[in-house]
Amino acid sequence: MNYERIKSELADGKLKNLYLLYGEEDFLKKAVAGRLETMAKARSNDSLEKVRFEKGFTAADLAQALGTASFFGGGKFVFCLNTEIFKGNALRKDFEETLGRIPQGCYVVFSEESVDKRNPLFMEMNKAGYAYSIDIRKSGDLSKYIAERFRKLGKKISYDNINLFMEYSGGSLTDIESDIEKIALYMDSRTEVRKEYITDLCSGTRQYKIYEMLDGIFGKDAGSSLRLMRELLSDKVPVQMMLASIHGRLMELAMMREDMDKGRDPVVTRNGRPVADFIVRRMRMQASNYSLGVLREAIVRAAQTDVDIKSGKISDTAGLEILVNMLAGV
């Protein structure tokens, strides 16, 4: 089950005694776990003892926590963070038995960064309706989330500026929340979120300029690419950072082009996280500008440029400019 399902259940006041929240959106998982704890406290008239476990705890530890009387005279709220018990192929019979006998008034919440969906314990939890994927990475869901967060702060943001915000803000919901609060605080009594607030205040502004340069390069816009490259140089962004970004985008486009050539649906991940679907669409267009062979040759050329700069055969700015011109004009 997904994030929207648990949101709906909690809005209806439904509360189970066992949850598995998994996914990489730490902000959302914390928010959901906090809501579960608040609801559990209300059910126990605020006489709820909280217990926390992390990686390395055992089923016996959990059973003891659930079986001993609460210090407050009420139930228990047991929060288990990144335990990794839902990885691997072993059926954790000890945990299965303990989780199958949670006493009345006790609640157990697992918050895991990742799970193995073939893990037997995960499969049991999922089948029983206790497992929830906490993720709103699709751009449509994310744009609704951003619009709603601004609305709750008394601010309005246009559709175009939502898309701009998604590109300029950091990659996680923690970054997004921080940027929303920063912009709202800066706006004070003003109600309309303007483009310059986003470009000036968001945490990913410098990285976004690099992405703009990459989009110019691989969109075959040499003029825009060189202008952005020079702006980044004037902002003291290291040449090596730009070279690494170009090489990384080339690798992504080569993998995407190979998927496209073989009729597969391309998937792009960065730091182990899938990128938003609107970025994937843009990169598909960029990949279509090159053959797989040309992209592979360009990867070699980018690596050689790095070697030439480090060995002193060419200056760093000249090497970068030659590479940008070559890629934007291929």
Residue 320's CATH number: 1.20.272.10
Asked if 92 and 9 sit in the same domain, the reply is: yes
Residue 148's CATH number: 1.10.8.60
Parent domain of 146: 139-201
- Rounded CA gap, 67 and 76, in Å? 10
Asked if 105 and 191 sit in the same domain, the reply is: no
For residue 111, count other CB atoms closer than 10 A to its CB. 20
For residue 310, CA distances in Å to 122, 160, 303, 314 come to: 49, 42, 11, 8
Asked if 190 and 213 sit in the same domain, the reply is: no
pLDDT tens, per residue, the chain with 330 residues: 788 889 889 888 899 999 999 987 888 888 899 999 999 988 887 778 899 999 989 999 999 988 875 555 568 899 999 999 998 876 678 898 899 889 988 999 999 988 999 999 999 999 999 999 987 666 567 888 899 999 999 999 998 899 888 877 866 787 788 889 989 999 999 999 999 998 888 876 667 778 888 989 998 888 889 888 988 888 788 898 899 999 999 999 999 999 899 988 877 777 666 777 777 888 889 999 899 999 999 999 999 999 999 999 999 999 999 999 999 875
The answer to whether 249 and 276 have CB atoms below 8 angstroms apart is no
Tokens of 233: 């140089």
For residue 26, count other CB atoms closer than 10 A to its CB. 14
Q: Please report which helix (H) or strand (E) contains residue 273, including its range.
A: strand 273-274
Q: What is the pTM of this model?
A: 0.57
Nearest Cα to Cα of residue 133 among 119, 147, 113? 113
* Last residue in a domain, options 201, 234, 254: 201
Kindly report each contact of residues 227-234 with a partner whose C-beta sits within 8 Å and lies 24 or more positions away, as own/partner: 229/320, 229/321, 229/324, 232/206, 233/317
Domains identified in the chain, total number: 3
- Rounded CA gap, 202 and 86, in Å? 36
- Rounded CA gap, 305 and 79, in Å? 51
Tokens of 100: 């199958």
Asked if 188 and 215 sit in the same domain, the reply is: no
Asked if 166 and 243 sit in the same domain, the reply is: no
Tokens of 33: 């776990």
Asked if 187 and 231 sit in the same domain, the reply is: no
Asked if 325 and 265 sit in the same domain, the reply is: yes
- Rounded CA gap, 294 and 326, in Å? 11
* Last residue in a domain, options 184, 201, 218: 201
Residue 77's CATH number: 3.40.50.300
* Last residue in a domain, options 168, 183, 201: 201
